[in-house]
Amino acid sequence: MRLTVMSLMAKSMSMEDRPNLSTEMETQIERVKWNLWNGNVRRTLQILEDLETTLDVQAPSLEVRKLLKAAREFFTYISTNREFIVNYGDRYRHGERISTGFVESAVNQIVSKRFVKKQQMRWSKRGAHSLLQVRTKVLDGDWRSKLSQWYPGIAEAAQPPVFPGLAFLRRPWRH
């Protein structure tokens, strides 16, 4: 989303001494997007530094100042989270999931309603986190083995008891 906003800012830019600045900035932002998609954080940061150098001029216009501020904030964001940047290009080429929509949907379905202030019973952040850990284990198919580690007396073949309030844990996940 930040890159989309920056791209829109770049389209509205102009400088008297650089008539093609808008096109140059859009090209740079597209390069940032491509490098991020392919997990090349080092190159992304270099392009953002180049973009900042280009925009950091004497008496910049309001549009230039806005884009410069956005570029600096994005640089800080990327450099702070560099180890969490996923190489979506590699995932895509290997047929792996590249969307987090299924995760967001599960969180909204399970957690959001309990965090609404008008509910009689609200969850603490710790309780919600614990539930999400259990839900993740169930979806991964690791829940039974994890329980067996914690409680060695549980027979592998035994079916877990069904609790009406936790029926959603037994539903198969739809992709």
Q: Is the full-model pTM beyond 0.85?
A: no
HEC per residue, the chain = CHHHHHHHHHHCCCECCECCHHHHHHHHHHHHHHHHHCCCHHHHHHHHHHHHHHHCCCCCCHHHHHHHHHHHHHHHHHHHCHHHCCCHHHHHHCCCCCCCHHHHHHHHHHHHHHHCCCCCCCCCHHHHHHHHHHHHHHHHCCHHHHHHHHCCCCCCCCCCCCCHHHHHHCCCCCC
What tens digit of pLDDT does each residue of 100-113 get?
A: 676 677 666 666 66
What tens digit of pLDDT does each residue of 136-150 get?
A: 777 777 888 888 887
pLDDT at 140: 75
